[in-house]
Amino acid sequence: MSQNSRTMTLADLRSQRWFGAEGQPGNHKSYRTKQMGYTSEDFQGKPVVGIINTWSDLNSCHTHFPQRVEEVKRGIWQAGGFPVELPALSVGETYVRPSTLIYRNLLAMETEEILRSHPLDGAVLMGGCDKTTPGLLMGAASMDIPVIYVPAGSMLSGHFRGQRNLGTGSSTWKALADFRAGKSDEQTWRAFGEGTARSPGTCNTMGTASTMTALADVLGMTLPGASSIPAVDSTHSQMASNAGRRIVEMVWEDLKPSRIMTRSSFLNAVAADMALSGSTNSLIHLIAMARRLDLELDLNDFAAASGKVPVLCNLQPSGQYLMEDFYYAGGLRALLRNIDQHLDLSCRNVTGGTLGEAIVDAETYEDDVIRPVSNPVYPSGGLVVIRGNLAPRGAVLKRAAAHADLLQHTGPAVVFVNFKDMLARIDDPDLEVTKDSVLVLQDAGPVGAPGMPEWGMLPIPKKLLEQGVRDMVRISDARMSGTSYGTCVLHVCPESRVGGPLALVQNGDLIRLDATNSTLDLLVPEDELSRRRALWTPPPPHYGRGYGALFSEHVLQADDGCDLDFLARTGNTPDPEARFS
């Protein structure tokens, strides 16, 4: 970077309010830094760059982050910056209960306040596992200092007893169904699962983690194409060091998230989401991220893209292949090149260049993995927004991962009033259910569950599994894993816990799903619904104190991104001065 490209001087840097202050305040910061073994030459006159690290011993996706942090630091030092590592909440999908969505907002709040309260001029955000990507970017957007995102990368493809291309989640859900149907023993089922998770990194399917890192890439917040690199590939280490070098330049250029993430870049992300057949969770996260920048993005934007952009990414759970295959077939840049007619190529990214410049030389090396527009996996977007009297504010269906015969279906409801009720009765041989029934789960939304867990792929009743049934229409106000599949209508809004129509459904009620016309209706007369509504009373709250109570009192509904209402807006938050420290 030439001196002419700098827009910031040393005096402009935030860190200088701490380290460059005159008298005792600045001296105090200086000698306490030396207490840690640094010299004046290490940090004086340099941008201070935070590395916000979501590593923990209970986040298997981020196992390799200690090494990646050192590689990021190397890049920062080489570019003339001063790196400082700052740990943040590690929202690991596998172990966090009751739901990681609750803690996405806590991570976002923590990230914003870490960036604000410390002497940082910019930051590298280290994430990947599902909620870490939106959580980090939401917080960084609210603070709005230069940041660059380093995605964790996906794990290796799964192998088991000669079977290849086994997807974490997508393949294991099928193995679980066979186990519950009595077609395999427990030892085989467990060994199969171990075969699908063979290395550090996020799920190797186009699940939520890969979807959200890809969309962060489309938004311009990663080095172009960084999201496609497998976690253990040597180019991932190189990308980490390159990101470290680039963030120092971004500080001098004052290249902030608000200058990169615009409404146009979010619409690019929505279009890419459709081509990827991305996770249904992406709708919630993208809306929440956009609102942090005071940008309007809603379900209508997703519905519009769904009608125009075909699915070109042939990855599980909507296709055949895995993330490793995607990378070696050309990765995200190749996919974006194939849908460039649906993109605003003038949008900027962290390099300072444009999306068009980032993909101009992209090539596809395996056109069954990344399909051309002339041969799509699915002719329209993988996700479809559903509305009707059962979901007046919307719901979502992963159309490309559903059984085609069920996309237009009418059947009687089998209602579970909550998750515990479902677990207790789903395999009861006396459960009155057939393959034509519609399984309905209530009380699983943002307030209800609490935290809108990934319960939306309700299990098929055991007695139907034994008959060979592998898909049914399932409806809930829950989410589902991005690795999941099936005819699952999710995010029904407003949720049942706050009195949405889903709370009024009773056993035997006919429900009509018409995905072709994007409708979902409860076929019950309005006067009967009014009678039920008058008798309905909300369940008592789950929490009496703590973060759970804060979340429940302030969380927005799914169509508004499930952020906390007092965070989902812009406003003036004082930037601390050195004299207050």
pLDDT tens digits, 481-509: 988 889 999 999 999 999 999 999 999 99
Rounded mean pLDDT, 454-476: 96
pLDDT at 4: 60
Average pLDDT over residues 56-82: 97
| H/E segment holding residue 397 | strand 391-398
The domains found in the chain, sorted by start residue, are 9-45 (no CATH), 48-156+199-359 (3.40.50.2300), 159-195 (no CATH), 383-535 (3.50.30.80)
pLDDT digits (tens, 9 = 90+) for 306-333: 999 999 999 999 999 999 999 999 999 9
pLDDT of 581 reads 46
Peptide bond before residue 538 is cis, with ω within 30 degrees of 0: no
Higher pLDDT, 178 or 476: 476
- pLDDT tens-place string over residues 257-293: 999 999 999 999 999 999 999 999 999 999 999 999 9
CA atoms within 13 A on the CB side of 516: 6
pLDDT greater than 70 at residue 578: no
Q: Residue 41: which pLDDT band, with cuts at 50, 70 and 90? A: confident
pLDDT band at 570 (very low <50, low <70, confident <90, very high): confident
Residue 332 confidence (pLDDT): 98
Host H or E run for residue 163: strand 163-166
Residue 14 has pLDDT above 90, yes or no: yes
Q: Is the dihedral of CA 287, 289, 292, 293 positive or negative?
A: negative
Please spell the DSSP secondary structure of 446-498, one letter per residue. TTTTTS--S--SPPPPHHHHTTT----EEEESS---TT--SSEEE--SS-GGG
pLDDT (mean) for 243-257: 98
**Which of 299, 322, 261, 280 shows the shortest CA–CA distance to 482?**
280
Over range 336-356, report the average pLDDT: 98
> Do residues 545 and 269 make contact, with C-beta atoms less than 8 angstroms apart?
no
- 194: its two tokens: 């171990």
pLDDT digit string, tens, across residues 144-179: 999 999 999 999 999 899 888 898 888 887 888 888
Model pLDDT, residue 176: 86
- Please enumerate in sequence order all residues whose Cβ is within 8 A of that of 211, keeping only pairs 6 or more positions apart, or say none: 273, 276, 278, 279, 281, 282, 482
pLDDT tier for residue 34 given thresholds of 50, 70 and 90: confident
Residue 117 pLDDT = 95
* pLDDT at 579 (0 to 100): 53
What distance in Å separates the CA atoms of residue 65 and residue 71, rounded to the nearest whole number?
10
At residue 47 the predicted structure's pLDDT band, cuts being 50, 70 and 90, is very high
In this structure, are residues 237 and 200 in contact, taking their beta carbons and an 8 Å threshold? no
Quote the pLDDT of residue 128: 98
Reported as a pLDDT band with limits 50, 70 and 90, residue 3 is: low
Find all residues with CB under 8 Å of 41, minimum gap 6, and list them: none
The pLDDT value given to residue 162: 86
Rounded to an integer, the average pLDDT of 106-134 is: 97
Range 218-240 average pLDDT: 98
- Give the tens place of pLDDT for each residue, 426-435: 999 999 999 9
To 10 degrees, the CA torsion angle through 281, 469, 509, 496? -20
In the predicted model, is pLDDT for residue 218 greater than 90?
yes
- Please name which of 249, 201, 253, 246 lies closest in space to residue 228, comparing C-alpha atoms: 201
User: Percent of the chain beyond pLDDT 90?
Assistant: 83
Please provide the average confidence, as pLDDT, over all residues in the chain: 94
* pLDDT at residue number 24: 72
Confidence (pLDDT) at 510:
98
Residues 133-145, mean pLDDT to the nearest whole number: 97
More confident: 374 or 574: 374
**CA–centroid distance for 557 within its chain:** 17
